[in-house]
Amino acid sequence: MNIKNKTILVTGAGSGIGKELVLALLKKGAKIAAVDIHEDALQELQKSVGGKGDRLATYVVDISDKVAVEKLPKDVIAKQGDVDAIINNAGIIQPFVRVNDLDFDAINRVMNINFFGTLYMVKAFLPFLLTRPEAHIVNVSSMGGFLPVPGQSVYGASKAAVKLLTEGLYAELKETNVRVSVVFPGATQTNITKNSGIDMPKPAESDSQKPAIQMLPASEAARLIIEGMEKNKLQIFLGKDSKLMNFLYRLNPVFATNLIAQKMKSLLPK
């Protein structure tokens, strides 16, 4: 996809990967519809873009609200003329507990934002994208969407649903003008834990002596996503850990699952 002069919508645009996507896309000459549930974050984003502010419009929307999402395409088109791509980046994690200890309020919140929020956005915008000469849907899944991560099992299930939804869309839309990509971030420097209202558990003392996982900067994650869009890639893996675990899980699912389980063991309640 040619980014320049395209109108691209980004969810979760107020921070982390979403904010970096907005900044990078503006540099490439795109017009941006920035969506976030946090109005203050969108205000800070507007301030940070400087002279490019005329190509940025912000929308305070809860993507888990189906009615609000269904109104969004007309609002964006009325304000910005058209929409050529959507990047469904917004998402949250669950508390670091086993499924047996996870209450249904937390389960529903994760599924409603991560899966249904993505689905609502796709259903709302796809009819409009199909009318454009060139269009793109990018859905952000997770390394946890193809590899089970103990303590994030429901989060992983929501992201696995995003993975298969996106790959199904790819197959369904092959003969159309709409290209489709699914993104699998590994460990990335974002504030998803804070935005999810989750306290990050402290590792066991023995684990604290081990080298920390090298996290991918959010700006690099954004660059790789945009590069994948430009190349019309179906699968976009972010970070060495995501690429490695994808390889290991395909090669030996049991070994890869046990490896992750061992790494997560110290973060889970006894």
Would you say residue 147 has pLDDT above 90? Answer: yes
Sign of the torsion angle spanned by Cα atoms 75, 78, 79, 82: positive
* pLDDT for res 200: 62
Phi/psi at 257 (5° precision): -65, -45
Catalytic residue of the set 59, 155, 170, 249: 155
Confidence of residue 270 (pLDDT cuts 50, 70, 90): confident
Residues near 102 by beta carbon (within 8 Å), at least 6 away in sequence: 94, 95, 153, 154
What percent of the chain lies above the pLDDT cut of 70? Answer: 94
Average pLDDT value for residue range 24-40: 97
The one-letter amino acid at 113 = I
The Cα–Cα gap between 148 and 183 comes to 17
The per-residue pLDDT of the chain, averaged, comes to 93
* pLDDT for res 211: 46
The Cα–Cα gap between 130 and 125 comes to 9
* pLDDT for res 99: 97
pLDDT tens-digit series, residues 171-218: 999 999 999 999 999 999 877 767 777 666 665 555 544 545 688 999
Phi/psi at 165 (5° precision): -60, -45
What domains can be seen in the chain, in order of their start residue? 7-267 (3.40.50.720)
Token pair for 213: 């996982």
Active site residue 249: no
Would you say residue 129 has pLDDT above 60? Answer: yes
* pLDDT for res 209: 46
Average pLDDT value for residue range 25-34: 97
pLDDT tens-digit series, residues 81-96: 999 999 999 999 999 9
